[in-house]
Amino acid sequence: RSLKQQDSGEFLNQHDQTKASDALPLPLYVTINGLFFTMFFSVMYFLLQRWREKIRTSTALHVVTYSEMAALVSLVASFIYILGFFGFDFVQSILRPSPASWIIEDDNMEEDKPVKPCGQALVPHILPTNSTSEMEVETKKPPPTMEYNSQENEEIVKQVVAGSIPSYALESKLGDCKRAASVRREALERITGKSLTGMPLDGFDYESILGQCCEMPVGYIQIPVGIAGPLLLNGAEFSVPMATTEGCLVASTNRGCKAIYVSGGATCMLLRDGMTRAPVVRFGSAKRAAELKLFLEDPEKFDTLAVVFNKSSRFGKLQSIKCAIAGKNIYIRFCCSTGDAMGMNMVSKGVQNVLDYLQTDFSDMDVMGISGNYCSDKKPAAVNWIEGRGKSVVCEAVIKEEVVRKVLKTSVASLVELNMVKNLTGSAMAGALGGFNAHASNIVSAIYIATGQDPAQNVESSHCITMMEAINDGKDLHVSVTMPSIEVGTVGGGTQLASQAACLNLLGVKGASKEEPGSNSRVLATIVAGSVLAGELSLMSAIAAGQLVKSHMKYTDLPEI
């Protein structure tokens, strides 16, 4: 058998080394390939230039000239040649069986018998067997792991400490992310003279963050995750994961969820859904900046700009363009849908497409930066409070008088009065920007960390105004939160990490929605708003009842309110 396997391997190696291109003499082979490669890229460049010119002049793309028809024919012909010439072996492998199947084994017929009864093959581990096939042995083997002795690691640590190996290059040099983190950690302790004892290293998939979530890791931080709920929202129940180290926060939010649940639930509506990016460009005069503003805001130009913007993604669709001028500088705020992604990278790519396109008619335009802070990202800004960014959501509930009294331990009149003097008047006195609430950022931050969102976007995502009003002759409480800039996604970034993905899965919004792109991220935004509503209800009730200090004495320090 071993000799036959060897002969078979040699035959396959010889077959793999034979290519379709070997049938041609070398000079002719090089000449033909050069000709078709030149033809392919030349006509491709020609067609792209023609397509760009048609977009610029608003000419229909399906109207073609004779030269364009000839270019299309040449493009197809050269593509077929390149595909057929270099993909011939691949096509053959599909149309005919592998040569290995031609080799006939004539060993003892006992080897053809199944190693397991048919029923056991379908349900493994029911009947133990002593004999196993070579295939089963292969599947049972654990994935190979590379082991390194302490002396090898010691040498690398010394080189990192000496500076001969950059710390950031350890992953690429060692080819093992876990080992790179361990070496970097040891080198850091020696350089600083400080111990990292208490920060865990094991039990984390460092491959999952390489080039995506975190550079030069030395371990990870443990943050406990609590569950608030069930939150009854739009007729569905959600168990809300909250990652926090602040005592009483989860318990308080949970009490608010209970008050909402027994009152019939909350209703949440999505008002807008669009991520923004605003580059800043400069001209030689304010007149030229104004001309670009008029060009970009011309409704007749929007469709052409949308085609240019949308070509970088099937989910990123341009919705609007808003411009602001400061002297010779113009700030262009692009807004687009981004599917289930939070979408900053997606919108940035679309913006770059438009900026490149504008250079044709505005060659004197100087792009100062892809972001000019008119977006505005990770900073409190009135433009987000007024225009919205990400998901704009309003969430409301009617809390019955009995629930306010028995669950929240206060009265409707006390809550309405406190909301007026604290969340509205008090915030106005402080000159708050989007901060007309009790502690929306507490809930937003906890959910963001648990579900893999960008914690820094808590700044604008926590913009919230809490309203409370007595209804039904003052017996019941109508409470609402309006949040114009919740920035969340269910794909990309930290959402791919195991723990964060588990929290998204708990909410039923893990990954991208196949049925309705973008629906998972929209549901997540409503869950954030509904949880904020619960948190506002509970904290405001604790303050109105004078229970805040007493309740927090059971846990830790008081939260900032």
Q: Kindly list the catalytic residues.
A: 246, 378, 454, 552
Angle ∠(508,512,518) on CA atoms, nearest 5: 95
Q: What is the DSSP string of 459-520?
A: HHHT-EEEEEEEETTTTEEEEEEEEEEE---SBSGGGGSHHHHHHHHHHT--S--SSSTTHH
For residue 79, give Cα distances in angstroms to 83, 252, 437, 466.
6, 64, 61, 61
Check the CA dihedral 317-322-326-329 and report its sign.
Answer: positive
Tokens of 454: 């960008």
Q: Tokens 């379908």 correspond to what residue? A: 122
Contact present, 317 and 337 (Cβ < 8 Å)? yes
Rounded CA-CA distance 45/34 in Å is 16
Query: What tokens does 22 get?
Result: 């070997």
Q: What is the DSSP letter of 431?
A: T
Q: CB-based contacts of 405: which residues, under 8 Å, 6+ apart? A: 411
Of 509, 258, 267, 276, which Cα lies nearest the Cα of 390?
A: 276
DSSP H or E stretch at residue 334: strand 329-337
Instruction: Compute how many other C-beta atoms are within 10 angstroms of the C-beta atom of residue 551.
Output: 18
- For 303, how many CA atoms within 13 A lie in the half-sphere containing its CB? 6
Residue type at 476? D
> If DSSP codes are grouped into helix, strand and coil, which group holds residue 22?
helix
Tell me the torsion sign for CA atoms 291, 292, 293, 296. positive
3 state DSSP class of 432? coil
Report the C-alpha gap between 456 and 68 in whole angstroms.
50
Encoded tokens for 142: 């654990």
Whether the CB-CB separation of 486 and 461 falls below 8 Å is answered with: yes
Burial of 240 (0-12, 13-18, 19+ CB in 10 A): buried
Distance set, CA 96 to CA 11, 49, 84, 240, 326 (Å): 16, 42, 16, 55, 68
Q: Which amino acid is at 489?
A: G
How far apart, in whole angstroms, are the C-alpha atoms of residue 110 and residue 131? Answer: 13
By C-alpha distance, which of 522, 535, 14, 503 is closest to 274? 522
For the chain, state the CA radius of gyration: 32
